[in-house]
């Protein structure tokens, strides 16, 4: 009895939608408790300094002050980290970046604390600054963390074939350098967390805007020296994360917990936008050198890649971010000879870590620019060069992995995008219009009469594309498993919970759809429980676009355990023959060649009466992957997704403005579970990717950030991005719930590269440095104000 | 973080003006709050020692748009959204209407007011170039006096105006331009909404058979405050508006801006762009 999906793939409104649009949903700062105190951070105006002493005498006796919290109050680990423990909870010895916090003062009035914190005197000795990552590995470079012995955070080498031989056999060799910028996640809700001391035997509870409750629990337990079970993390509704509420929230949670346990009162930390941008981690700026050898057929023979990532002041997620880079750096192209080195280094800049895309948007910008450049040189179209080199079923990746067990849909997404947009015709048409951007000579700021642009050639049209492959979930980064909890009540309503966390991406709705599909009931029968590490099983972090694949797999497995119990009950209760089929559908259970349908509710009631447990925890574990870190070879990820985005732009050649008129986003994310959720991912990802391409940049001056709020840090508004046209190619896969895989990050990683290629198509000029802001487009450089003073000058 | 402040909401102009006299040392006027609140939040010097905010939103005398045969009079506390919905503004003062439409976002325009846009005299105030070319005058009242001066005279220097501490901008009066004038307003920001202006330009011209009878030119954001370019206006008067002259005028604008501002970090970008876009604006007006 084959049945169509009842809810999977349909557009389902998110379960928290109404609460969020009516303001009922509780975010971290909405939680208030009797006796709750606030905490305010002490920082100094230096990016690198040795702390000699902190003098609190001016505030010690102030009645607004309840407590001062310093490193001495930390009972457990004083330094924490995602991978390396190099980040102090409180910096009592030295600061290595301006966001660093030396101590924290606690009291009832946040406003009073902000006045008091200015009166604390810190005696410090400035240390030499290191802000250029290219100088981090020089022998005389100052060490950011002397105990590490070097400023090298990580080096990932990859060796396949023989590149020198490959270059020697190539008809052409091209070398280019690209750079990408530091950017901010720009989640709408700044950091907020409250720690509540529980009864003595129970430890502490933390409620916050937390991306990864289980990682947060680890940090808090290490810092308090508590067993994991005495730290309970509850997730509040999250006002955006994009990978940004991981370590920063772990650290803020630990600080709040240290204070709460010392004072024995609830303590809240909440950041202003300025503090958020100042302290939170960002996306890695990369410098990428690519050397590529190819023949006139377009076939790539060899690729040598050298990438340097600015990890900033702390290691954070740098080792994993750059690992994804080394796996994917060639792009989805079959190349026999590859030689890649990816390094991340320490500097005194704001530290960098996880952000949606996670080490992929940077190499995609480089490698997709490079592919277009080769195409133009060889008189091919951008799609042709990609078809020559692109992955097909059975292709071998740069890491030596054979692509199998899933549909390798790279060329399918490319062809779909091409047909839908009429790519080739438009690309060739725009290319004919040869007029160039004007080269100004700034020694004479008044432009020549001949340089004035005639109004009818002010605007140039361009179309560009970019493709990618992306490893799903964690890959060889670590253990990859997730679990879910389902409890069916005797009236047929269902409680559902999973150890992966709602980050605003709509995971709860996706999981509810999966459970509803298995039970043949409607999604409104399912109540999604809040995530609490005290009751929810650990499923690892909600990262790497793994929620639908791994958590969804766990929810499906769990629901299937319970459905099997119901099926067994039905078989014995009605003495069914072994080939009688049972179908769960429309809130009913249908049995072949048998009586009228029974309601799901009645079956659940019967199970309860018969003493059958309808609550269970289920598990989904990824197949094993492998990695040899010395040569960068192995089956890096167990499955992959493919995407192609086409950007259609107009460029104003007088101002350098890029108008993104349309982005067609074709993604093979496997089976789509919630159509509305999937569309939302594309709209958001493309917009964020466009911001990365043309607007966004956190700039620093001696380590200090210039853009501390959204008046200066410009993210795209709804008026800046035109039509977004998502198209889903649902490739089959043996993994994930009904073959559902990853979508969140692929949607973002391609857009900047596609826009850059479109701009080239429009004006005949290639850009090597993101973002392509007004000055970059017109002058091929960035202009910076001389100081950090705010406001238009 | 904003420390605690007293807020009073006078119901008429007299009450507000009296408060300004009584509490003159530590009070600030607030209307939409789109400048004051972020300023307080950032601890801006402009709002240091503020203890009282006088909310002028409910004063009927400064909340209307009226029209006589010669002029349009806009209350100082009119919001941009109100102005955008006003047919008189839209038809008679299209440059001002367009300038208002480029400000912030719907939410900001719902709160921000016309007087609030220029009383702090920030260089990027979007309505200023339009008010300048429309020869707007500013009505200012205190308990003891009432005066009306031109916008150009009112705006004295960067973040400085002729407004005294005991005064309120009550009305903005704009002579209705003759139908023979054509013109446009241009704004460049880093994005298409919620953007601080990098360049603003307003141009109003009256031509006869391509001969420039009168031209009024104003800029914002590229100069320390919004200004009129009277030298250029004189130069253009009586000239034939051919392509060559429009280019020359654009170059001259560049020279004037360079003279006023000197070279700044942003000049390398802004100077060529302002010349190009001024030229585009002139061509567009010429073609109707």
CA angle A288, A293, A295 (to 5 degrees): 145
**Which chain B residue lies closest to A114 (C-alpha atoms)?**
B1
Residue B47 lies in a domain: yes
B interface mutation test: which of A188, A706, A792 has the most B CBs within 10 A? A792
Instruction: Determine the 3-state secondary structure of A202 from DSSP.
Output: coil
Task: Yes or no: say if B29 and B50 are a contact pair by the CB < 8 Å rule.
Answer: no
Residue B118 lies in a domain: yes
Residue A3 pLDDT class (50, 70, 90 cuts): low
Q: Are strands A615-621 and A49-55 parallel, antiparallel or unpaired?
A: unpaired
pLDDT given at position B288: 66
The answer, yes or no, to whether residue A754 has pLDDT greater than 70, is: yes
- A671 secondary structure, DSSP code: S
pLDDT given at position B286: 83
Q: How far apart are CA A521 and CA A515, in angstroms?
A: 8
Residue A791 pLDDT class (50, 70, 90 cuts): very low
CATH no. for residue B49?
A: 3.30.43
B110 and B24 in a single domain? The answer is no
Phi, psi of A683 (to 5 degrees): -60, -45
**Percent of chain A whose pLDDT exceeds 90:** 94
B87 and B152 in a single domain? The answer is yes
- Chain B residues lying within 8 Å of A784, measured CB to CB: 265
The residue whose two tokens read 């006299």 is B21
Q: How far apart are CA B151 and CA B83, in angstroms?
A: 18
Strands (E), A295-333: 300-312
pLDDT given at position A114: 94
pLDDT digits (tens, 9 = 90+) for A459-471: 999 999 999 999 9
B216 and B275 in a single domain? The answer is yes
Q: Does B106 touch chain A (CB under 8 A)?
A: no
User: Residue A393: exposed, middle, or buried by beta-carbon count in 10 A (0-12, 13-18, 19+)?
Assistant: middle
Task: Yes or no: say if A472 and A741 are a contact pair by the CB < 8 Å rule.
Answer: yes
Q: Which of A755, A603, A588, A593 is nearest to A665 (CA)?
A: A755
Q: Does A188 touch chain B (CB under 8 A)?
A: no
pLDDT digits (tens, 9 = 90+) for A365-374: 999 999 999 9
Task: Yes or no: say if B219 and B226 are a contact pair by the CB < 8 Å rule.
Answer: yes
B200 and B159 in a single domain? The answer is no
Partners of A718 in the β-ladder: none
Q: Which two tokens stand for residue A242?
A: 């994009």
Q: Are strands A481-488 and A494-498 parallel, antiparallel or unpaired?
A: antiparallel
Q: Are strands A300-312 and A337-346 parallel, antiparallel or unpaired?
A: parallel
What mean pLDDT, rounded, does chain A reach?
A: 96
String of DSSP letters for A347-400: -SSPPB---TTSS-HHHHHHHHHHHHHHHHHTT--HHHHHHHHB--TT-B-TTS
Task: Yes or no: say if A690 and A751 are a contact pair by the CB < 8 Å rule.
Answer: yes
String of DSSP letters for B210-237: TEEEEEEEEEESSSSS-EE-HHHHHHHT
What is the ipTM metric for this complex?
0.96
- Chain A residues lying within 8 Å of B275, measured CB to CB: 446-447, 452
Instruction: Determine the 3-state secondary structure of A539 from DSSP.
Output: coil
Contact A440 B272 (CB under 8 A): yes
pLDDT digits (tens, 9 = 90+) for A646-695: 999 999 999 999 999 999 999 999 999 999 999 999 999 999 999 999 99
Q: Are strands A37-42 and A267-270 parallel, antiparallel or unpaired?
A: parallel
pLDDT given at position A595: 73
Q: How far apart are CA A754 and CA A660, in angstroms?
A: 11
B239 and B276 in a single domain? The answer is yes
Contact B254 A791 (CB under 8 A): no
Q: Does B242 touch chain A (CB under 8 A)?
A: no
Residue ranges making up the domain that contains B265: 184-287
String of DSSP letters for A580-600: --EEEETTEEEETTSSS-EEH
B170 and B79 in a single domain? The answer is yes
Q: Which two tokens stand for residue B199?
A: 């360049």
pLDDT given at position B48: 83
Residue ending a domain, among B175, B198, B223, is B175
B24 and B96 in a single domain? The answer is no
The answer, yes or no, to whether residue A577 has pLDDT greater than 70, is: yes
Q: Which of A482, A466, A550 is nearest to A742 (CA)?
A: A550
Residue A788 pLDDT class (50, 70, 90 cuts): low
Q: How far apart are CA A557 and CA A620, in angstroms?
A: 7
Contact B273 A714 (CB under 8 A): no
Contact B279 A452 (CB under 8 A): yes
The answer, yes or no, to whether residue A126 has pLDDT greater than 60, is: yes
Question: Residue B58: how many CA atoms within 13 Å on its side-chain side?
Answer: 7
Residue A2 pLDDT class (50, 70, 90 cuts): very low
Residue B1 lies in a domain: no
Chain B stretch 5-44, residues whose beta carbon is closer than 8 A to a beta carbon of chain A: 38, 41-42
Q: How far apart are CA A721 and CA B258, in angstroms?
A: 34
For residue A558, say if its preceding peptide bond is cis, omega within 30 degrees of 0: no
pLDDT given at position A240: 96
Contact A447 B276 (CB under 8 A): yes
Q: Which of A475, A764, A725, A494 is nearest to A624 (CA)?
A: A475
**Which chain A residue lies closest to B1 (C-alpha atoms)?**
A111
Candidate from B122, B254, B277 with C-beta closest to A654: B277
- Chain B residues lying within 8 Å of A272, measured CB to CB: 1, 41
Q: How far apart are CA B64 and CA B62, in angstroms?
A: 6
Strands (E), A655-757: 658-668, 700-701, 704-705, 721-728
Task: Yes or no: say if A324 and A358 are a contact pair by the CB < 8 Å rule.
Answer: yes
The residue whose two tokens read 């009236």 is A491
pLDDT digits (tens, 9 = 90+) for A135-177: 999 999 999 999 999 999 999 999 999 999 999 999 999 999 9
From A317's Cα to the closest Cα of chain B, the distance in A is 32
Task: Yes or no: say if B257 and B219 are a contact pair by the CB < 8 Å rule.
Answer: yes
Candidate from B3, B194, B271 with C-beta closest to A111: B3
Residue ending a domain, among B175, B202, B221, is B175
Candidate from A453, A695, A786 with C-beta closest to B190: A695
Domain count, chain B: 3
Q: How far apart are CA B32 and CA B112, in angstroms?
A: 4
From B248's Cα to the closest Cα of chain A, the distance in A is 8
Q: How far apart are CA A518 and CA A553, in angstroms?
A: 12
Contact B280 A453 (CB under 8 A): yes
**Which chain A residue lies closest to B262 (C-alpha atoms)?**
A445
B10 and B42 in a single domain? The answer is yes
Contact A455 B284 (CB under 8 A): yes
- Chain A residues lying within 8 Å of B193, measured CB to CB: 717-720
Residue ending a domain, among B145, B175, B205, is B175
The answer, yes or no, to whether residue A1 has pLDDT greater than 60, is: no
B106 and B189 in a single domain? The answer is no
**Least confident interval from A118-122, A314-318, A439-443, B210-214:** A439-443
Task: Yes or no: say if A92 and A10 are a contact pair by the CB < 8 Å rule.
Answer: no
The answer, yes or no, to whether residue A764 has pLDDT greater than 70, is: yes
Contact A775 B269 (CB under 8 A): yes
Task: Yes or no: say if A742 and A444 are a contact pair by the CB < 8 Å rule.
Answer: no
Candidate from A656, A720, A790 with C-beta closest to B192: A720
Q: Number of Cβ pairs closer than 8 Å across A and B?
A: 113
| Crossing angle of helices A213-224 and A247-263, rounded to 10° | 40
Contact A716 B191 (CB under 8 A): yes
B42 and B122 in a single domain? The answer is no
Q: Which of A753, A755, A754 is nearest to A657 (CA)?
A: A755
Q: Which of A348, A352, A374, A350 is nearest to A361 (CA)?
A: A352
Q: How far apart are CA A333 and CA A299, in angstroms?
A: 10
**Which chain B residue lies closest to A695 (C-alpha atoms)?**
B190
Residue A793 pLDDT class (50, 70, 90 cuts): very low
Residue B150 lies in a domain: yes
The mean pLDDT value for A749-763 works out to: 98
Q: Which two tokens stand for residue A345?
A: 């280094």
pLDDT given at position A790: 52
Contact B247 A452 (CB under 8 A): yes
N-terminal to C-terminal alpha carbon distance within chain A? 71
Instruction: Determine the 3-state secondary structure of A27 from DSSP.
Output: strand
Residue A361 pLDDT class (50, 70, 90 cuts): very high
The residue whose two tokens read 């993210």 is A715
Q: How far apart are CA B215 and CA B235, in angstroms?
A: 10
Q: How far apart are CA A500 and CA A115, in angstroms?
A: 40
Q: How far apart are CA A232 and CA A453, in angstroms?
A: 64
CATH no. for residue B204?
A: 3.30.390.50
The answer, yes or no, to whether residue A787 has pLDDT greater than 80, is: no
Task: Yes or no: say if A605 and A491 are a contact pair by the CB < 8 Å rule.
Answer: yes
Residue A253 CB contacts under 8 Å (≥ 6 apart), including other chains:
A193, A195, A206, A208, A210, A216, A219, A220, A233
Domains and CATH numbers, chain A: 17-24+481-621 (3.30.365.10), 31-127+191-270 (3.90.1170.50), 286-474+629-779 (3.30.365.10)
Residue B121 lies in a domain: yes
B109 and B18 in a single domain? The answer is no
From B13's Cα to the closest Cα of chain A, the distance in A is 32
B51 and B117 in a single domain? The answer is no
| Crossing angle of helices A552-573 and A507-519, rounded to 10° | 20
The mean pLDDT value for A756-784 works out to: 96
Residue A296 CB neighbour total at 10 angstroms? 12
Q: How far apart are CA A639 and CA A328, in angstroms?
A: 13
Q: How far apart are CA A473 and CA A500, in angstroms?
A: 12
Q: How far apart are CA B73 and CA B91, in angstroms?
A: 14
Q: How far apart are CA A376 and CA A132, in angstroms?
A: 34
Contact B251 A786 (CB under 8 A): no
Residue ranges of chain B with per-residue pLDDT less than 50: none
Q: How far apart are CA A790 and CA A40, in angstroms?
A: 23
pLDDT given at position A261: 98
pLDDT digits (tens, 9 = 90+) for A375-404: 999 999 999 999 999 999 999 999 999 999
The answer, yes or no, to whether residue A435 has pLDDT greater than 80, is: no
CATH no. for residue B69?
A: 3.30.465.10
Contact A720 B193 (CB under 8 A): yes
From A197's Cα to the closest Cα of chain B, the distance in A is 27
């Amino acid at each position: 009895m084959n049945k169509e999906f009842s809810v999977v793939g349909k557009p389902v409104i998110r379960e928290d939608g109404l609460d969020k649009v009516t303001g009922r949903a509780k975010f971290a700062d909405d939680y208030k408790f009797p006796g709750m105190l606030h905490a305010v951070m002490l920082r100094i105006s230096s990016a690198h300094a040795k702390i000699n002493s902190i003098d609190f005498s001016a505030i010690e006796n102030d009645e607004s002050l309840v407590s001062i919290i310093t490193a001495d109050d930390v009972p457990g680990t004083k330094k924490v980290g995602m991978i390396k423990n190099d980040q102090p909870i409180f910096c009592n010895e030295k600061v290595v970046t301006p966001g660093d916090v030396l101590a924290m003062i606690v009291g009832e009035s946040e406003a009073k604390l902000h006045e008091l914190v200015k009166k604390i005197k810190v005696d410090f000795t400035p240390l030499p600054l290191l802000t250029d990552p290219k100088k981090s590995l020089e022998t005389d470079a100052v060490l950011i963390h002397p105990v590490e012995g070097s400023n090298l955070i990580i080096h990932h080498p990859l060796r396949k074939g023989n590149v020198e031989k490959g270059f020697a056999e190539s008809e052409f060799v091209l070398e280019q350098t690209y750079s990408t910028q530091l950017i901010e996640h720009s989640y709408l809700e700044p950091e907020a967390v409250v720690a509540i001391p529980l009864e003595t035997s129970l430890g502490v509870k933390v409620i916050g805007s937390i991306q990864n409750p289980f990682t947060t629990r680890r940090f808090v337990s290490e810092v308090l020296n508590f067993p994991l079970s005495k730290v309970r993390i509850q997730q509040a509704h999250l006002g955006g994360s994009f990978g940004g509420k991981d370590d920063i929230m772990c650290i803020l949670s630990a600080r709040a917990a240290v204070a709460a346990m010392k004072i024995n009162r609830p303590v809240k930390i909440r950041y202003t936008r300025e503090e958020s941008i100042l302290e939170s981690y960002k996306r890695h700026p990369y410098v990428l050198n690519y050397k590529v050898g190819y023949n006139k057929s377009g076939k790539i023979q060899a690729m040598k890649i050298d990438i340097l990532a600015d990890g900033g002041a702390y290691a954070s997620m740098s080792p994993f971010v750059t690992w994804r880079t080394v796996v994917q750096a060639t792009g989805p192209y079959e190349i026999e000879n590859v030689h890649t080195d990816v390094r991340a280094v320490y500097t005194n800049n704001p530290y960098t870590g996880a952000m949606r895309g996670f080490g992929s948007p940077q190499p995609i910008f480089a490698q997709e620019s490079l592919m277009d450049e080769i195409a133009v040189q060889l008189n091919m179209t951008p799609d042709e060069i990609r078809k020559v080199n692109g992955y097909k079923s059975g292709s071998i990746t740069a890491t030596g992995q054979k692509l199998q067990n899933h549909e390798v849909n790279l060329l399918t997404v490319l062809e779909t995008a091409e047909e839908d947009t009429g790519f080739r015709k438009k690309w060739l048409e725009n290319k004919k219009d040869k007029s160039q951007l004007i080269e100004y000579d700034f020694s004479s700021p008044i432009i020549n009469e001949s340089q004035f642009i005639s109004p009818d050639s002010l605007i140039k049209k361009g179309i560009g594309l970019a493709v990618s492959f992306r490893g799903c979930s964690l890959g060889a980064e670590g253990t990859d498993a997730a679990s879910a909890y389902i409890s069916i009540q005797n009236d047929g309503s269902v409680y559902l919970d999973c150890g992966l966390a709602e980050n605003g991406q709509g995971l709860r709705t996706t999981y509810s759809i999966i459970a509803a599909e298995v039970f043949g009931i409607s999604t409104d029968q399912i109540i999604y429980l809040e995530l609490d590490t005290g009751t929810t099983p650990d499923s690892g972090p909600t990262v790497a676009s793994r929620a639908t694949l791994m958590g969804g797999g766990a929810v499906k497995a769990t629901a299937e355990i319970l459905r099997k119990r119901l099926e067994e009950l039905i078989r014995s209760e009605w003495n069914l023959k072994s080939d009688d089929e049972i179908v769960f559908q429309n809130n009913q259970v249908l049995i072949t060649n048998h009586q009228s349908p029974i309601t799901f509710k009645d079956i659940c009631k019967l199970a309860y009466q018969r003493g059958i447990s309808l609550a269970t925890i289920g598990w989904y574990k990824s197949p094993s992957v492998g990695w040899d870190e010395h040569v960068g070879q192995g089956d890096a990820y167990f499955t992959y997704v493919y995407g192609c985005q086409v950007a259609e732009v107009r460029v104003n050649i007088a101002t350098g403005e890029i108008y993104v008129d349309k982005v067609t986003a074709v993604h093979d994310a496997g089976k789509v579970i919630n159509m509305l959720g999937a569309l939302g991912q594309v709209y958001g990802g493309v917009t964020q990717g466009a911001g990365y391409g043309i607007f966004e940049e956190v700039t620093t001056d001696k380590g200090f950030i210039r853009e501390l709020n959204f008046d200066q840090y410009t993210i795209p508004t709804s008026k800046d991005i035109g039509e977004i046209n998502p198209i889903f190619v649902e490739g089959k896969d043996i993994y994930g719930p009904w073959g559902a895989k990853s979508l969140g990050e692929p949607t973002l990683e391609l857009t900047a590269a596609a826009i850059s290629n479109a701009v080239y198509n429009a004006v005949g000029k290639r850009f090597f440095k993101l973002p392509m802001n007004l000055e970059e487009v017109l002058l091929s450089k960035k202009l910076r104000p001389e100081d950090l003073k705010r406001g238009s000058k | 973080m904003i420390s605690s402040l007293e807020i009073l909401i006078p119901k008429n102009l007299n009450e507000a003006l009296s408060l300004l006299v009584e509490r003159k040392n530590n009070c600030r006027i607030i209307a939409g709050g789109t400048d004051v609140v972020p300023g307080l939040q950032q601890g801006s010097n402009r709002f240091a020692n503020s203890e009282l905010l006088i909310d002028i939103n409910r004063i009927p005398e400064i909340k209307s748009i009226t029209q006589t045969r010669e002029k349009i009079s806009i209350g100082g506390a009119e919001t941009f959204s109100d102005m955008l919905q006003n047919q008189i503004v839209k038809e008679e003062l299209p440059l001002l209407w367009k300038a208002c439409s480029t400000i912030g976002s719907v939410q900001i325009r719902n709160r921000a007011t016309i007087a609030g846009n220029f009383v702090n005299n920030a260089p990027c105030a979007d309505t200023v170039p339009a008010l300048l070319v429309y020869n707007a005058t500013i009505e200012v009242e205190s308990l003891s006096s009432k005066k009306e001066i031109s916008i150009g005279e009112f705006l004295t220097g960067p973040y400085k105006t002729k407004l005294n501490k005991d005064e309120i901008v009550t009305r903005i009066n704009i002579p209705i331009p003759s139908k023979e004038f054509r013109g446009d307003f241009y704004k460049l920001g880093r994005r298409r909404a919620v953007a601080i202006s990098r360049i603003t330009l307003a141009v109003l011209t009256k031509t006869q058979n391509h001969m420039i009878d009168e031209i009024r030119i104003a800029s914002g954001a590229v100069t320390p405050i919004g200004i009129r370019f009277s030298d250029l206006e004189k130069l253009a008067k009586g000239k034939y508006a051919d392509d060559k002259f429009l280019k020359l005028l654009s170059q001259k604008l560049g020279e004037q801006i360079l003279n006023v501002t000197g070279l700044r970090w942003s000049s390398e970008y802004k100077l060529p762009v302002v010349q190009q876009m001024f030229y585009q604006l002139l061509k567009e007006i010429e073609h109707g």
